[in-house]
Amino acid sequence: MPLIVLETIINSDIKTCFDLSRNIDFYTKSLKHSKEKAVAGKTSGLIGINEWVTWEANHFGIKQKLTSKITEFDSPNYFVDEMVSGVFKSFRHEHLFISVGDKTKMIDKFHYISPLGILGKIADVLFLKNYMKNLLLTRNSHLKIEAEEN
């Protein structure tokens, strides 16, 4: 099971970072290059425990849908979203936030299992893990800029 771990230091308070990370409108804006949009469930505002959202996006030239649900929630320190349905066999995205003085350390732990057995494992090595890492880095870069401007 591939695991992507990213740490981002943000010059902003923990609550601002936590809320931006679970803000559906911000998420849509930060990943507009993939035409990401919420189409069902919680489609705007701040998502919370036991709420779900279905995303529609264009990845690798293919329109895809993915539904995830918030399964764990401890504001403003931690939340987890897990795939309910979509192209992956499964995924679990842990979002952790730690106050470090007047800054916030944001940690993403993204665990996933690709579909298609051995073909999925080959895709992980060839391109998928890097693609997912870059998607998260893009989102985190936008989040850092937005949080630091507020």
For the chain, what percent of residues have pLDDT higher than 90? Answer: 75
Enumerate the β-bridge partners of residue 73.
Answer: 79
Detail the DSSP E strand segments found in the chain. Answer: 3-10, 37-41, 52-59, 62-74, 78-85, 90-100, 103-113
pLDDT tens per residue across span 119-132: 878 878 888 899 99
Return mean pLDDT, the chain.
Answer: 93
The answer to whether 66 and 36 have CB atoms below 8 angstroms apart is no
Query: Is the confidence at residue 115, as pLDDT, over 90?
Result: no
- Name the phi and psi angles at 85, rounded to 5: -150, 150
The answer to whether 104 and 17 have CB atoms below 8 angstroms apart is yes
What domains does the chain contain, in order, with CATH numbers?
A: 3-149 (3.30.530.20)
pLDDT tens per residue across span 55-67: 998 877 788 899 9
Helix axes 14-21, 129-149, angle to 10 degrees: 130
